[in-house]
Amino acid sequence: MTCAKCGEGLEGLDQFCPKCGAEVPKLFGGGIERRQQQGAVSSARKWLLAIAILTVLSGFFFYAIQSSKVEDEIREAEQATAGIEPEERDRLMKEEVGMTFEEAIAHDRGQVKLLLLVNLVLGGLYFGLWRWAKVNPFMAALTALILFISVHVISAVVEPKTLIQGVLIKVLFIMALVRAVKAGAEARRALEPHPS
Amino acid sequence: MSQQGRSQAGDSPRQEPGERPPGEAGPSHDVVGERLDGLAGDANYGVGERGSRAGAQEVGAEAITDGALGEREGSDLEAKSLTVPALERLKLEEPALEARALEERPTERNALEESSPEEESAEASALKGESPEAASGAQGREVPGWCSFCDRPLWSGARFCGGCGTRVGLAPALAAGSRTMDDVRMLLGFFLAAMAIAVVWTIWFQATENAFAADLGAGFSLAALTAGYGLWHRSLLAAPLRTAGFSLAGYGVVLVASVPVLLLVSAYVDLLHGAFRLHEESELAAFAGRSVLWPLFMVAVLPPLSEEVAFRGILYGGLRRSLSVGEAMFLSSFAFAMLHLSVMSLFTHLPLGAYFCWLRQRSGSVWPGVFAHACHNLGVCLLTWW
């Protein structure tokens, strides 16, 4: 009997190829655990890809909403301060928020753009983790878990109501990641080189 | 007997806090641990487990239940079915191996324990080279050792265990995935607790708008959490806290290096703020109108101390028990960066964390990292005032 992947000769009892580590297809017993691990990792990878796409899409969605909101606010502020001299207005603004009227407008617009950038970066990170999970599922899933929890804690601090938004998806994603971390920790013994 | 063999093989790469004799917790521990790490993966499991097995009849089944496999549900039957026949076959065909293993074992162990680093690596390769002579397996294949995970005999030249697919040369601690999960729990436990502290004080600040008190509260809470975690995992901290790590010249280099590091970080922050025309309030605004000692202590002394002890002392040291240098560096730095509650600061704090980790790895002490961190934070203060 030879390995289907690399052609190495196999012993009768070998369940994995001693040369390349490929699993030998067998009639009974064995391999169940490995298949469960692979299942957990591939499920987490699907989730990661979905979350990556969702993050990018919602980034654009919130950018559209936020920028129209900010533009409305700017228009309102301009109307409200129409009667005041520009110098007086800037002096009042500086006292209140530490910047001139023009600076405040640029700051608000900049924040909306930064939010878009953050979401695009996040989407990119999830996408990178999706790729990484193929090579090192344990590290990728654990990193994704830390990232995902942090991001949602940060947005919950900024805007408490985001905590319950899509709470089911969040819980399911975290569960998938935890399963993948566990499976990855188990699978590491086969997939990872010895740490040096 | 197999219990003994497993603990011998398992001890070197990863020591449980309680298991280490007090005398061993000296400054040199880290270096020794590092050295053994590499050794254990290549040769130690072969020696310890080969010896432990000699003479025992049901050793395969025993090792499965008392070892790491015992923790894994449903795997016993599967593992037995492939391990026991393999061992039985080995016994039928290789009586000479067991006799030889019995003879060799004590001297090999002693030599291994007493030898100096250079000799150890030489010995490790010598052992590997010698092993194939010890046994020739079925159909002319040789048995150089046993799988560190399922205790099945390995064929010479095998890169993976034929029984369970474990990579040959993997440290026993790594082979047992459950140990990795212990370290994961340690990392996530600290991270979530620190995150909760940050959230509570941020919300408290939003409610009261008292930035000074919120800064103090967050700083001291994190320090208290670190102290508690440090007491809990004090064996991880004993060595890195006790040694200075670098000579005075080394600290001088760290001081000089902190200038370009600071300039790079502040250039990134300025670029980001400039590109988006943001006007962020300075972190030091919370200390306006107070003694200059407050920002110095709350920015340049306390956070470097507690963050270095936490991330480079406890977490990095803990993760190193079952992960590689790069992986432990990445995870502890990633947690460190995300704890600053900003996605964009990932690009500055991840490299910073890696730099502090590198100092820890290089020196075996947390103090160079504390010094570099303090220099950096002090530099941020000076830049803000200036």
Mean per-residue pLDDT for B250-277?
87
Summarize pLDDT for B16-52 with one digit per residue, the tens: 333 334 333 334 344 333 433 433 333 333 333 333 3
Tokens representing B226 are 């670190």
- State the smallest CA–CA distance between residue B6 and chain A in angstroms: 17
Contact indicator for B108, B127 with CB cutoff of 8 Å: yes
Band (pLDDT 50/70/90 cuts) for residue B332 is very high
Instruction: Give the pLDDT score at B338.
Output: 92
Q: Give chain B positions within 8 Å (CB) of A193.
A: 167
CA-to-CA separations, A30 to B74, B77, B79, B322, in angstroms, rounded = 11, 9, 8, 26
Hey, of B192, B278, B319, which one would you mutate to test binding to chain A, going by the most A CBs within 10 A of its CB?
B278
Distance CA B41, CA B169 (A): 5
- Chain A hits for B187, CB-CB cut-off 8 Å, are 142
Place of tokens 């991001």: A151
Q: How far apart are CA B301 and CA A100, in angstroms?
A: 35
Answer whether B160 sits within 8 Å of A185, measured CB to CB. no
Is residue B216 classed as helix, strand or coil in its secondary structure? helix
What global pTM score does this model have?
A: 0.65
Partner-chain contact A18 B158, CB within 8 Å? yes
B55: left (phi over 0), alpha (psi -120 to 50) or beta: left
DSSP states along chain A: -B-TTT--B--TT-SB-TTT-PBPP-SSSS-HHHHHHHHHHHHHHHHHHHHHHHHHHHHHHHHHHHHHHHHHHHHHHHHHTTTS-HHHHHHHHHHHHSS-HHHHHHHHHHHHHHHHHHHHHHHHHHHHHHHHHHH-HHHHHHHHHHHHHHHHHHHHHH-GGGGTTTHHHHHHHHHHHHHHHHHHHHHHHHHSPPP-
Q: Which helix (H) or strand (E) segment is B364 a member of?
A: none
C-alpha radius of gyration, chain A, whole number? 26
pLDDT in tens, A94-106: 777 777 888 888 8
* DSSP calls for A89-136: HHHHHHHHHSS-HHHHHHHHHHHHHHHHHHHHHHHHHHHHHHHHHHH-
- Within 8 A of A182 by CB-CB distance, chain B residues are 177, 181
Chain A residues near residue B192 by CB distance under 8 angstroms: 149
User: Could you tell me which of B170, B298, B294, B307 has the C-alpha nearest to residue B227?
Assistant: B307
Say how many CB pairs under 8 Å bridge A and B: 181
Which has the closest alpha carbon to A100: B226, B246, B279, B212? B279
Is the pLDDT at A126 greater than 60? The verdict is: yes
Model confidence at B242, pLDDT cuts 50, 70, 90, reads confident
pLDDT, residue A12, reads: 64
Query: Which residue of chain A is at minimal alpha-carbon distance from B194?
Result: A150
B177, closest residue in chain A (CA to CA): A186
Nearest CA in chain A to B197: A153
What does DSSP assign to residue B89? Answer: H
Provide the pLDDT for residue A157.
Answer: 85
* Alpha-carbon span A163 to A187, nearest angstrom: 33
Residues of B in contact with A33 (CB under 8 A): 72, 74-75, 78
Half-sphere exposure of B73 (CA within 13 A, CB side): 2
Interface predicted TM-score (ipTM) over 0.90? no
pLDDT of B372 over the 50 cut: yes
- Within 8 A of A143 by CB-CB distance, chain B residues are 330-331, 334
Return the residue of B nearest to A33 by Cα: B75
pLDDT band at B286 (very low <50, low <70, confident <90, very high): confident
Distance CA B112, CA B134 (A): 18
Residue B141 in this model has a pLDDT that exceeds 60? no
**Alpha-carbon distance A168 to nearest alpha carbon in chain B (angstroms):** 20
Interaxial angle between packed helices B234-242 and B29-39, expressed in degrees from 0 to 180 and rounded to the nearest 10: 120
pLDDT: is B195 or B89 the higher one? B195
Q: Chain B residues with CB inside 8 Å of A117's CB?
A: 276, 344
CB B348 within 8 Å of CB B340: no
Residues 6+ apart with CB under 8 A from A65: none
Closest chain A CA to residue B87: A13
Q: Which of B81, B85, B174 sits opposite A189 (nearest CB)?
A: B174
